[in-house]
């Protein structure tokens, strides 16, 4: 049996504590693993924050037990550096080595698929490779092929959804989020949740993001050329684009060419993408903020250490994770989470946006908690970008919030 281990949040240790801390952590994790495997097993570092363990004379059930023991040991381990302490996790993929195993390359590929599945399930998990993982990867590759054809045939479309001030939050600027859609060969509109995961895994997203950014900066600026009201367009950026060395150069060039007004472009990045490579993302954000762009941190609250990053990340908006917003009027835990985010936002002069606002009851509760903006089907549905210049959406007055 082969175990493929990939540390979770290792880049965060490097970015927050420095590479010497990362090196020390790797040495300590190596020692931890060595004390918990059998003398007949072989441990190797595969590169970066990845390890491989070859388990001899081991059944699949035994391998799962060993992997889970290692996972728990790493999860419970507290890494101390100077005056601070951090926890890391590990995602583990398991592959059985049989007479049918074709080659080392196919074995490592299967291990990578299993490890990715463990991460996809929420990280800090163990996943044993199954043959049905292969069709899933094939489906993803088919999506990549379909997406490539859609780009070539101009079947990508942009929609926008208003982000509306709540109550007495006076803001003359009109806010919108751009949303990507794809038409299939038969004209059916496909939601991004169906094709974005495959595009991210196979590194197609930087090209998609470039197209969306160009449309936002060039086309929408042209559409709004005759309007006097200030506006802000939120554009989602993927984690792969944030780590693309040439993507920042592209953005700077687009901004220099089309010269959108101060605050007109707001780049939206997820909390997960931001902390995955913190130092690079902070540099990325500072370079673009110096050129008049704004930043929104999406899905805020979904991470275990969300508030810890706010002193480092120069964000203008916190978009509260929709899983907390949906039941904010009825679930006391969700209400407390939203209230905490709203309070920390006010303390740091960061505006808060609630996504997935689907009812008046939720909207009224958000107003009571002091959330600044609302976005969702109860407020306004996404509309085609052709309607953009005609969209006028005032703030929601408090008297309509119940």
User: Could you read off the pLDDT of 161-183 as tens digits, one per residue?
Assistant: 999 999 776 677 889 999 999 99
Q: Regarding predicted confidence, which is higher, 202 or 126?
A: 126
Confidence of residue 224 (pLDDT cuts 50, 70, 90): low
The segment with the largest mean pLDDT, out of 82-86, 169-173, 219-223, 373-377, is 373-377
The pLDDT mean for the chain works out to 85
pLDDT at res. 400: 42
Q: Is the pLDDT of residue 143 over 60?
A: yes
2-130 topology per CATH: Alpha-Beta Plaits (3.30.70)
Where in the chain are the domains?
A: 2-130, 155-400
User: Looking at residues 127-149, what average pLDDT do you find?
Assistant: 75
Nearest-angstrom CA–CA distance, 91 and 121? 10
Instruction: Judge whether 365 and 385 are in contact, CB under 8 Å.
Output: no
Interatomic CA distance for residues 395 and 393, integer angstroms: 7
Q: How confident is the model over 268-304, as pLDDT tens digits?
A: 998 878 877 788 899 999 999 999 999 999 988 866 4
What is the C-alpha to C-alpha distance for residues 310 and 300, in angstroms, rounded to an integer?
10
* Residue 304 contacts residue 327 (beta carbons within 8 Å): no
User: Of the ranges 19-28, 145-154, 213-222, 288-297, which one carries the lowest mean pLDDT score?
Assistant: 213-222
pLDDT in tens, 13-72: 877 778 888 899 999 999 999 999 989 999 999 888 999 999 988 998 999 999 999 999
237-266 b/e (C-beta count within 10 Å ≥ 16 → b):
bbbbbbebeebbebbeebbeebebeeebbb
Per-residue pLDDT band for 199 (boundaries 50, 70, 90) equals confident
Quote the pLDDT of residue 318.
95
Q: Is the pLDDT of residue 401 over 50?
A: no
Alpha carbons 110 and 125: distance in angstroms, whole number:
16
pLDDT for 394: 47
* 155-400 maps to CATH 3.40.50.460: no
More confident residue, 340 or 395: 340
pTM (predicted TM-score): 0.68
In sequence order, what DSSP letters do the residues of 167-216 get, joined into one string?
TT----SEEEEEEEEEE-TTS-EE-HHHHHHHHHHTT-HHHHHHHHHHII
Question: Same CATH fold, 155-400 and 2-130?
Answer: no
Q: Where does the pLDDT of residue 398 fall: very low under 50, low under 70, confident under 90, or very high at 90 and above?
A: very low
């Amino acid at each position: 049996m082969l175990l493929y281990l990939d540390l979770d949040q290792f880049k965060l240790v490097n970015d927050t504590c420095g590479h010497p801390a990362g090196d020390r952590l790797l040495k300590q994790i190596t020692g931890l693993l060595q004390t918990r495997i059998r003398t007949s097993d072989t441990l190797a570092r595969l590169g970066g924050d990845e390890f491989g363990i070859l388990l001899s004379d081991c059944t699949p059930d035994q391998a799962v037990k060993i992997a889970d023991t290692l996972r728990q040991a790493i999860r419970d381990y507290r890494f101390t550096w100077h005056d601070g302490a951090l926890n890391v996790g590990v995602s583990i993929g398991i592959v059985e080595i049989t007479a049918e195993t074709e080659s080392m390359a196919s074995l490592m590929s299967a291990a990578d698929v299993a490890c990715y599945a463990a991460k996809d399930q929420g990280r800090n998990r163990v996943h044993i490779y199954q043959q049905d993982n292969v069709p899933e990867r094939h489906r993803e590759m088919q999506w990549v092929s379909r997406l490539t054809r859609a780009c070539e045939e101009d079947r990508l479309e942009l929609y926008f959804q208003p982000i509306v001030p709540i109550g007495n939050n006076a803001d003359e600027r009109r806010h919108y989020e751009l949303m990507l859609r794809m038409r299939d060969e038969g004209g059916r509109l496909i939601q991004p949740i169906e094709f974005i995961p495959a595009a991210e895994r196979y590194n197609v997203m930087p090209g998609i993001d470039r197209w969306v950014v160009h449309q936002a900066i060039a086309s929408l600026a042209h559409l709004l050329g005759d309007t006097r009201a200030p506006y802000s367009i939120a554009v989602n950026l993927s984690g792969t684009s944030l780590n693309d060395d040439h993507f920042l150069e592209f953005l700077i060039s687009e901004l220099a060419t089309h010269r959108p007004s101060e605050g007109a472009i707001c780049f939206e990045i997820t909390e997960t993408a931001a902390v995955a490579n913190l130092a690079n993302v902070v540099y990325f954000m500072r370079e673009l903020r110096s050129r008049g762009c704004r930043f929104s941190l999406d899905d805020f609250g979904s991470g275990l250490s969300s508030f810890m990053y706010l002193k480092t990340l120069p964000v203008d908006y916190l978009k509260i994770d929709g899983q907390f917003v949906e039941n904010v009027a009825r679930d006391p835990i969700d209400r407390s989470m939203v209230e905490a985010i709203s309070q920390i936002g006010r303390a740091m002069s960061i505006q808060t946006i609630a996504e997935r606002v689907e009812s008046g009851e939720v909207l009224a509760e958000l107003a009571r908690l002091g959330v600044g903006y609302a976005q969702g089907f109860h407020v306004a549905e996404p509309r085609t970008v052709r309607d953009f210049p005609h969209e006028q959406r005032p703030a929601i007055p408090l008297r309509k919030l119940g």
